[in-house]
């Protein structure tokens, strides 16, 4: 039920989904079906994962069978959703769980990932080192540029940009993928996570990289993707980031980030803090959903949408506007639209 744009060529579309990797259970396959339908209509250029790619404890090795059961067979097969819901889905939809157009599965696109706290319970190195078609997680944090509406995201090119490609002039957008789990103090009490973090990470170095990458970006629209939300009314409200909460918020605000996309809470939320310019989007409803546990009593936050429902976000970029739509993973309906207008800064908001 995603409405078609009047002019597809002027928009760059991608889908953002989080907290999904449950072997096809907990309605993961049903959500995949609605994603595939939306990706076909838009059409989508790529998929972004906001983390917790594999439950409950990441993957153990490059050959872990969950890469197949939670990702490949659900999203990348001939039929999105794997053909039929194999438990945890709604049985009355099994007959619908097929690619009804008889065309190529529209989710066979580049996928770009961030790591979640559950991924850190396993082998992070294995996820980074996976060499599979369409799997893109080159390091724990990285960026990708979108040169024009029809372009596939690519690494920065010459002139101080990592990787190959051409970075001459300005371009439409840039996506910055970060690893938030090491930024939270709370995981010092989670032995399974912290023993892995201590071996490999430097939080200061990551935030330094992000600030420099944002500052030097030539993108009209800057979007940061991490697993943990900076603001949420879900079960993870008030988690202990220590000083990194204020530091990450400062970096996003000072560098004119348009959207911060996250997961972690298993629902859909869009939050605009008062006197701040970044729009905070929680899209963590790719399989199991959890209720919203906090009353909306914080006068410093303006919540434009929040609901405990299966679904995902569609982000669309043009030279005139950036749009985020929440889409139901149950019936494909558009639940909410948030639009930012270009001009006078990239975060001039249009009423939803």
Give the tens place of pLDDT for each residue, 218-257: 999 999 999 999 999 888 888 889 899 999 999 999 999 9
- 37 pLDDT above the threshold of 90: yes
- Looking at residue 5, its pLDDT comes to 55
Taking 50 as the threshold, does the pLDDT of residue 135 lie above it? Answer: yes
pLDDT at 204: 84
pLDDT at 335: 96
Residue 319 contacts by C-beta under 8 Å, 6 or more apart in sequence? 10, 172, 220, 342
- Note the pLDDT of residue 189: 85
Q: Does 164 have pLDDT greater than 60?
A: no
Task: Judge whether 157 and 147 are in contact, CB under 8 Å.
Answer: no
Question: CA 76 to CA 32: how far, in whole Å?
Answer: 10
Residue 295 has pLDDT above 80, yes or no: no
Average of per-residue pLDDT across 150-166: 59
Q: What is the average pLDDT across 21-27?
A: 94
CA distance 243 to 255: 19
- In this model, does residue 4 exceed pLDDT 90? no
- Residue 143 or residue 80, greater confidence: 143
The two beta strands, 219-225 and 259-262, are parallel
pLDDT at 8: 47
Predicted confidence band at 173 (pLDDT cuts at 50, 70, 90)? very high
Ordered DSSP codes for 220-289: EEEEEE-SS-SS-SSTTTT---TTHHHHHHHHHHHTT--EEEE-SSSSEEEEEETT--PEEEEE--SS--
263/121 Cα distance (integer angstroms): 17
Is 90's pLDDT higher than 50? no
Segment 252-273 shows an average pLDDT of 95
**Which of the four pLDDT bands, split at 50, 70 and 90, describes residue 89?**
very low
Average pLDDT over residues 269-282: 92
| Separation of alpha carbons 126 and 107, rounded Å | 23
* 201 pLDDT more than 70: no
**Which is more confidently placed, 92 or 127?**
127
pLDDT of residue 101: 36
Element (H, E) at 53: none
pLDDT of residue 1: 56
Do 215 and 222 contact (CB within 8 A), yes or no?
A: no
Of the listed ranges 190-199, 234-243, 310-319, the least confidently predicted one is 190-199
Confidence of residue 95 (pLDDT cuts 50, 70, 90): very low
Confidence of residue 71 (pLDDT cuts 50, 70, 90): very high
Confidence (pLDDT) at 268: 96
Work out the percent of the chain whose per-residue pLDDT is above 70: 80
């Amino acid at each position: 039920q995603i409405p078609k744009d009047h002019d597809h060529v002027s928009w760059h579309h991608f889908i953002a989904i989080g907290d999904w990797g449950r072997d096809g259970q907990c309605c993961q396959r049903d959500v995949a079906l609605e994603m595939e339908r939306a990706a076909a209509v838009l059409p989508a250029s790529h998929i972004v994962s906001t983390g917790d790619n594999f439950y409950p404890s990441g993957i153990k090795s490059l050959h872990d069978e969950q890469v197949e059961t939670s990702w490949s067979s659900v999203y990348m097969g001939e039929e999105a959703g794997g053909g039929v819901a194999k438990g945890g889905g709604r049985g009355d939809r099994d007959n619908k769980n097929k690619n009804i157009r008889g065309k190529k599965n529209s989710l066979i696109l580049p996928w770009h990932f961030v790591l979640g706290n559950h991924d850190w319970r396993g082998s992070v190195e294995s996820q980074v080192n996976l060499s599979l078609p369409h799997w893109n997680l080159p390091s724990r944090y990285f960026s990708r540029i979108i040169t024009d509406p029809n372009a596939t995201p690519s690494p920065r090119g010459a002139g101080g940009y990592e990787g190959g490609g051409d970075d001459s002039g300005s371009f439409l957008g840039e996506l910055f993928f970060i690893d938030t789990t090491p930024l939270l103090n709370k995981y010092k009490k989670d032995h399974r996570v912290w023993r892995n973090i201590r071996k490999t990470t430097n939080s200061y170095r990551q935030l330094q990289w992000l600030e420099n990458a944002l500052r030097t970006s030539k993108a009209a629209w800057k979007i940061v993707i991490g697993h943990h939300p900076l603001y949420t009314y879900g079960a993870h409200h008030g988690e202990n980031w220590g000083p990194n909460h204020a530091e990450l918020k400062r970096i996003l605000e000072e560098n004119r980030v348009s959207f911060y996309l996250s997961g972690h809470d298993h629902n859909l939320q869009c939050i605009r803090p008062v006197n701040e310019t970044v729009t905070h989007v929680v899209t963590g409803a790719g399989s199991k959903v959890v209720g919203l546990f906090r009353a909306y009593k914080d006068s410093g936050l303006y919540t434009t949408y929040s609901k405990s429902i299966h679904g995902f976000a569609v982000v669309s970029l043009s030279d005139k506007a950036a749009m985020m739509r929440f889409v139901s993973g149950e019936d494909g309906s558009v639940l909410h639209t948030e639009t930012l207008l270009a001009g006078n800064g990239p975060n001039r908001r249009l009423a939803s």
